[in-house]
Amino acid sequence: MLFADWFESPQPGRREALGPEAYVLRGFALDYVPRLLPELRAIQQAAPARHLVTPGGRTMSVALSNCGQLGWTSSRDGYRYTAHDPDTGKPWPPMPAVFLELAQAAAAQAGHPGFAPDACLVNHYVPGARLTLHQDRDENDLGEPIVSVSLGIPATFVFGGLRRTDPTQRVPVFHGDVVVWGGVDRLRYHGVLPVKEAEHPELGRLRINFTFRRAR
């Protein structure tokens, strides 16, 4: 297998069902990448990624930043959305137009037209970083989908059920893949297994994940 084949989605254009209203859109973001990466670097400069602390006092292995009207944060005081970066007191960087374009197009492709995200989490995974099973339920309107974009080194996305103990699917995600879930699947538990050692030709030893949400 060629180096580029390993990192990019093996079947771009394919839509794989994970549930009644949940899909993997293989390679959907690839055409957007030349416009995404410069905007990503601007966000990284304006609001550098940081390792947040959970309410239980554990430091997350994934480093996080945000763009959009609201940003998701965590501390010993709990999980919440804020209009300002707690580290700087400044508003989060605006959501770039290409981010919104991608999120809306992916949501529509997965059967969720009219998606209008106001928050985008920008997650940074280095090899070894992981995300334990959880639900996205800090948003006011749970009727809106989640759109998750993968860039950089591959990872294994874990998609479960409505209870933490339900069986899970392990879904390899590659550079350019997008996962969308909403409707009856909106509160499914999900996570990411520890990312394996790798190096992407554009992003190095890094997986970037954009998670688009409608928080309010």
Q: Is 43 marked within a binding site?
A: no
Cβ burial 10-41 (10 Å sphere, 16+ → b, else e): eebeeeeebbebbbbbbbbbbebbeebeebbe
Q: Is 15 marked within a binding site?
A: no
Q: Is 207 marked within a binding site?
A: yes
Q: Is 170 marked within a binding site?
A: no
User: Beta strand pairing status for 50-53 and 178-181?
Assistant: unpaired
CA distances from 82 to 11, 67, 91, 110, 192 (A): 38, 11, 9, 28, 25
Q: Is 210 marked within a binding site?
A: yes
The DSSP code for 8 is B
R_g (Cα) of the chain, nearest Å: 16
Q: Is 79 marked within a binding site?
A: yes
CA distances from 56 to 52, 60, 64, 106, 116 (A): 11, 11, 18, 34, 32
Q: Is 216 marked within a binding site?
A: no
Q: Is 163 marked within a binding site?
A: no
d(CA 209, CA 118): 16
Q: Is 134 marked within a binding site?
A: yes
Q: Is 72 marked within a binding site?
A: yes
d(CA 103, CA 198): 27
Q: Is 140 marked within a binding site?
A: no
Q: Is 85 marked within a binding site?
A: no
Q: Is 209 marked within a binding site?
A: yes
Q: Is 214 marked within a binding site?
A: no
* Segment holding 198, helix H or strand E: none
Q: Is 82 marked within a binding site?
A: no
SS3 57: coil
Q: Is 32 marked within a binding site?
A: no
Q: Is 125 marked within a binding site?
A: yes
- The residue type found at 179 is V
Annotated binding site for 2-oxoglutarate: 123-125, 207-213
Annotated binding site for Fe cation: 134, 136, 190
Annotated binding site: 72, 79-81, 123-125, 134, 136, 138, 164, 190, 207-213
Annotated binding site for substrate: 72, 79-81, 138, 164
